[in-house]
Structure 1
Amino acid sequence: MKKYIMILLLFSFIMGTTNVSAQKVKEINQVEQSIKSSGKYALLVMNPKHLKVAIMTGERFKNKSKKIDFQIVTCGEVVKEISANEELKKTVVEAVQKYGLKIVVCGLTVRQLNIDKTLLPTETPIVNNGIVYMFGLEELGYKSISI
C-alpha cells in the first residue's frame, strides 16, 4: 500500500510539472511571437562578444519580416574589434548586405580610440555620437536595449 501511494504521488508530481512546463513554454512562445512585423528595434552594443549575438537577433527578426527595421549601434571596444578582426568585419558586412540590418559606428569612439576609419566596413556609417544616435532612435519610437 505504501508503495502504491508513493507511485501515485510521484505520478501526480510528474504530471503536474509537465502541465506547468507546457504552460510556461506556451507563454514564452507567445512573448517571442509578439514581435511586430513592422516594428522598429535597436541594440546598443559595446562589448565585442555581444556583437555576434546582436547580429543573430537582427537576422532572426528580419527572417520574420523584411519590414522590421533593426539597427545596431556600436560604441567602445567593439568598434576597435570590428576594425581589427577580419572575420568579424565579414560578419558585419554580411549582416548588412544579406539581411538588411543597419549597423552604425560611434564617431566619438573612432576619435577617442584613434581608429583608422578606412579599416571599418563602408557598409557601417559613422555617426557623430552613438549614444546621442540611440536617444534619437528612442525618440523616433524604436524599442531599444543595451547589451
Structure 2
Amino acid sequence: MKFYINALLLCALLGASSYAHAQTAGEIRKTEQSIKQDGKYALLVMKLQLLKAGILTGENFKNKSGKIDFQIVTCGEVVKDLSQEKELQRFVVDAVKNHGLKILICGLSVQQLGIDKSLLPAETPITDNGLTYFFGLEEQGYKTIAL
C-alpha cells in the first residue's frame, strides 16, 4: 500500500513539474516579439550553416523594424567558405544591400588562412581582428551571441 502511495505521489510530482516548464504558444510569441524596434544585435559566426541562419534571423529582425542594427562578424573557416562559394557570396551581398545587415570579415582569419581579399565580396568590410571588433560591439551595448 505504501508503495502505491509513493508511486502515485511521484507521478503527481513529475506531472506537475513538466506542466510548470511547458510554454504556451502565446508565451513563445510574446518572447519572440520582445525584440526592441531600435535594438542593437550582433553575432560572431564561425560556421557556414550558422552564417546562413544568422542572416535569415537578421533579415527577419530588419523586416520588423528598419531601425534595428544587426551585425554579423565572420571568423575562421566560414571566411574561407565565403571566398570560394559564389552562391554564398550572392546570399551575403543580398543581405547587405537589400536588408541592411552589416556583415564583416575577420582580417586575422584572412591572413591566417591565406585568403585572397579580392575573392571576398566588396560589401563585406574587413576588420583587422574580428574578435576585437566583437568585443567593441559588446562595449557599445549590443546584445551579442557567439556561434
Give TM-score scaled by structure 2 length: 0.84
In structure 2, stretches of 5+ residues that fail to align are: 1-19
Cross-structure match for 1:8: none
Cross-structure match for 1:133: 133
The amino acid across from 1:81 in the alignment is D
Cross-structure match for 2:13: none
Aligned residues: CA RMSD = 1.6
Residues 11-46 of structure 1: CA distance to partner in whole angstroms, max 9, x if unpaired? xxxxxxxxx9x9611111111000000000000000
Report % sequence identity: 64
Q: Distance in 2 between matches of 1:23 and 1:133?
A: 36
Q: Secondary structure at the match of 1:145?
A: strand
Q: Secondary structure at the match of 1:52?
A: helix
In structure 1, stretches of 5+ residues that fail to align are: 1-19
Cross-structure match for 1:17: none
**Runs of 4 or more above 2 Å deviation:** none
Q: Distance in 2 between matches of 1:109 and 1:48?
A: 14
Cross-structure match for 2:142: 142
The amino acid across from 2:124 in the alignment is T
Q: Secondary structure at the match of 2:24?
A: helix
Cross-structure match for 1:50: 50
Q: Secondary structure at the match of 1:80?
A: helix
- The structural deviation recorded for 1:146 is 1.2
